[in-house]
Structure 1
Amino acid sequence: MASFQVQAVLKQLGADIQTARKRRMLSVQDFCERIGVSDKTLHKLERGDGGVRIETFAMALLALGELDRLKEMLDPAHDDLGHSLDRARLPKRISRKSGPRPPALRSDEINDDGVGF
């Protein structure tokens, strides 16, 4: 059984899909044909039923012209928590291992801020 938070989000998502469908003046029958489901399945989707396949959800977004929003939902480039966790795992110090040393920077390779490039 889904948590209360998940149920609330699914219910809101379903209501948002229904609102978007109506704004686009798509009847239930037309929308069902576009996404390849029965009116019963569409009703479940718009009600926020957690048993609806994610493919059905994706097809609804495609029919509404909003599929890119699903694609971008968990884009690693915009994962602030993931970036924070990565930074937290960076070592405090990096010890020199045996092996070749990088070449020393010449003075003309260091900018005014002391950064080598």
Structure 2
Amino acid sequence: MNSSANLPVSRAIKSLGKSIELARRRRGLSQADLASRMGVSVSTVRRMEDGHPGMALQYLASALQVFGELEKLRLLLDTPEDSVGLSLMDAELPSRIYSNRRKTPKAF
């Protein structure tokens, strides 16, 4: 893969790592404390905070759970608020809707 094409992704992951580190420090937790609460090794926490690109999503979810912020993971791509997706769907709506009237049998 072209590394320059992934530069925005790499920057975003590094920024997320720094945010995790800041959240940990604000809560007065050492890396060892966070690792213990997450059920992972200290080196996993270090790699996550460094923005290592191979980190599993479950580690992010575990860190968010320790911080009391797990709900934010669900809201990352909140489909009712997905303006692009909703616009694309709306563009495909038919301009006219016809009723499906069924003919009822005539009574004799």
TM score, norm. by length of structure 2:
0.84
Structure number, greater radius of gyration: 1
Alignment counterpart, residue 100 of structure 1, candidates 102, 105, 108: 102
| Displacement after TM superposition at 1:84 (Å) | 0.5
RMSD over aligned Cα atoms: 1.7
Matched, 1:26 2:21: no
Q: Partner of 1:75 in structure 2? A: 78
Matched, 1:8 2:11: yes
Matched, 1:65 2:51: no
Distance in 1, Cα, partners of 2:59 & 2:67? 12
Aligned residues with identical type, % of pairs: 39
| Displacement after TM superposition at 1:57 (Å) | 0.7
Q: Partner of 2:89 in structure 1? A: 86
Q: Closer, same or farther in 2 for the Cα pair 1:61/1:98, shift >3 Å?
A: closer
Q: Bigger CA drift: 13-22 or 80-89?
A: 80-89
Matched, 1:17 2:20: yes
Q: Partner of 2:48 in structure 1? A: 45
Distance in 1, Cα, partners of 2:29 & 2:41? 15
| Displacement after TM superposition at 1:99 (Å) | 3.3
Listed one character per residue, the Cα deviations across residues 80-99 of structure 1 (whole Å, up to 9, x for unaligned) are 111111110111223x3663
Matched, 1:36 2:23: no
How many residues matched? 100
Which structure 2 segments of 5+ residues have no match?
104-108
Which structure 1 segments of 5+ residues have no match?
102-117
The amino acid of 2:102's aligned partner reads P
